[in-house]
Structure 1
Amino acid sequence: MSDLSTSTISIDAPVDAVRAILFDLAGYPSWSTAIKSAEVKATDDQGRATSVKVSIDAGMMKDRVLLNYDWSSAPDKLEFSLEEADLLTAMNGAYITKAIDADTTSVTYELGVEVSMPIPSMMRTKAEKATIDQALAQLKAHAEN
């Protein structure tokens, strides 16, 4: 797996409000244009999604993936990893949230992908960064409304 691309954004919303958006995995299509659908396939004993089938259309990257979610570091960090996909051979990442103050949250998004076809690492990293930046901007817009 490649190194993770990462970016951080400050959101003018309380950390619990931002986490509520991020932890509602089935709700991602309502605020993320890259996520066309998200269907929860399995949950843990607390009702949190642990397996989600996601249809992604992020410009150059279009795929249907089954992601596994790891809640062991929640609520500060929600990690995910690829179980299966049509095109991707690996995908992992995390959302890391931290309260800056009562009304402001820092969100860091980490993402790493590998695809079944050869793509120069510079192009893959650029696509990862574009995906991260778009997701964080859309999360910010949704959380601040």
Structure 2
Amino acid sequence: MSEKSVSTVVIDAPLAEVQAALFEIGSYPEWLSSIKKADVIERDGENRVLKAKLAIDAGMMKDRVTLDYDWSAAPAALSFTMDEADLLTQMDGTYLLKAIDADTTQVTYELTVAVSLPVPSMMITKAQKQTIDAALKELAERVA
């Protein structure tokens, strides 16, 4: 099992704009380089994604995963857990959002990944960190 990786970024954009970009999972391939395809499978009564199948290419982490999204802490947080995948055995994450002021938002991304292949945990942790850092950078660029 892998360790959780965490990074935080402060984005010069209002909380609502950051939430709008982050909460529209179907548009991830437009701005998130590690997500090559996102197919929304199920939505709730508020049109929020409950389940999506994503094609991921994040360096050594290449897979097709089906993720279940948890909106219970929204709009302050969006969490996901892996339902199924080809190679990964775990992919759990949470985006935590907090308004610093009217025009600035802090986003923390936590990610835990485990693979079915014999890969040293140090390499998994490094890949997680790179994935998180890239996702936060690309989110900031998306709402800038």
| TM-score tier after normalising by the smaller chain length | over 0.9
Matched, 1:16 2:23: no
CA distance in 2, matches of 1:56, 1:91: 11
Look up the match of 1:105: 105
Give the conservation status (yes or no) of the 8 Å contact 2:49–2:69: yes
User: Identity rate of aligned residues, in percent?
Assistant: 57
Give the conservation status (yes or no) of the 8 Å contact 2:81–2:93: yes
Look up the match of 2:43: 43
Matched residue pairs, number?
A: 144
Q: Secondary structure, in 3 states, of the residue corresponding to 2:65?
A: strand
Look up the match of 2:55: 55
CA distance in 1, matches of 2:75, 2:4: 21
RMSD: 0.8
Look up the match of 1:135: 135
Look up the match of 1:87: 87
Q: Deviations over 1:72-113 (max 9, x none)?
A: 000000000000001101110111100000000000000000
CA distance in 2, matches of 1:29, 1:50: 18
Give the conservation status (yes or no) of the 8 Å contact 2:2–2:124: no
Q: Deviations over 1:101-138 (max 9, x none)?
A: 00000000000000001111111111100000011011
TM-score by length of 1: 0.97
- Runs of 4 or more, structure 1, over 6 Å off, are none
Q: Secondary structure, in 3 states, of the residue corresponding to 1:63?
A: strand
TM-score by length of 2: 0.98
CA distance in 2, matches of 1:40, 1:72: 19
Q: Deviations over 1:43-78 (max 9, x none)?
A: 112111000000001111110000000000000000
The residue identity in structure 2 corresponding to 1:30 is E
Gap regions ≥5 residues in structure 2: none
Give the conservation status (yes or no) of the 8 Å contact 2:2–2:125: no
